[in-house]
Amino acid sequence: MKVKKIKHHFQKTDPTIYKVIVEMELNPLQQPKRSTGYFRKLCREIIAQQLASKAAHAIIGRFYDLFERKHVTPDKLLAFSEQKLRNVGMSWAKARYTRDLAQKVKDKEVRLNNLHNLDDKLVVEELIKVKGIGNWTAEMFLIFTLGRENIFSHGDLGLRKALQKLYGFKDKPNEKQINKIVDKWSPYKSYGCLALWKSID
């Protein structure tokens, strides 16, 4: 029923993106009821930054293998040196970023346990306190972990590339041009993003 509603919304508001959505398998984003696994997922988001998915997957797998039963916690992560994290394929910067996340969660400077109860803006404000987490990483967390349905990431190059291709822009569209298209997608911008990524997959 939800999928039907989403498709109908795009059919009405944007025939271009609708053509992509009807051809793909669309599953409603799941909103978590409690804060299980947020720390682990944020580590994954940091490691995956600016990497092709195959490379990211391999490094994330080796990172999880460092932990007994793949149970990733701030205390356990802080017990590893930057060199040990580097050895699984992470850059020095990402080794520092994951440790910074662990330290800030441990010191309660960053509180993850209530993120699903905060609005989108407050989630971003909380997460960007961590070195290496900017708006893009926070927005990916909003979509893929918190299941927020109305997110568009202006910092995502793939989305800009897909918009350029689908909507026939000569150059990469600017923020004003993007908003003119994307604002019509509300309250389902995240599904528009999924369709854009699919279109250049």
DSSP secondary structure letters along 31-86: PPSS-TTHHHHHHHHHHHTTS-HHHHHHHHHHHHHTSGGG---HHHHHTS-HHHHH
For 38-144, give the CATH class. Answer: mainly alpha
Res. 32: pLDDT tops 90: no
- Average pLDDT rounded to a whole number, residues 101-111: 96
Give CA torsion, residues 171, 176, 177, 182, to 10 deg. Answer: 130
**Per-residue confidence band for 35, with pLDDT thresholds at 50, 70 and 90:** confident
Delimit the domains of the chain by residue range.
2-29+151-199, 38-144
Contact 9, 188 (CB under 8 A): yes
Between CA 134 and CA 142 the distance in angstroms is 12
Res. 46: pLDDT tops 80: yes
Between CA 76 and CA 177 the distance in angstroms is 46
**Per-residue confidence band for 1, with pLDDT thresholds at 50, 70 and 90:** confident
**Mean per-residue pLDDT over the chain, rounded:** 94
Burial label for 115, CB within 10 Å (0-12, 13-18, 19+), is buried
Residue 191 is classified by DSSP as H
Res. 125: pLDDT tops 90: yes
Topology adopted by domain 2-29+151-199: Endonuclease Iii, domain 2 (1.10.1670)
Q: How confident is the model over 54-89, as pLDDT tens digits?
A: 999 999 999 999 999 999 999 999 999 999 999 999
- Measured from the Cβ of residue 60, the count of other Cβ atoms closer than 10 Å reads 20
Contact 53, 144 (CB under 8 A): no
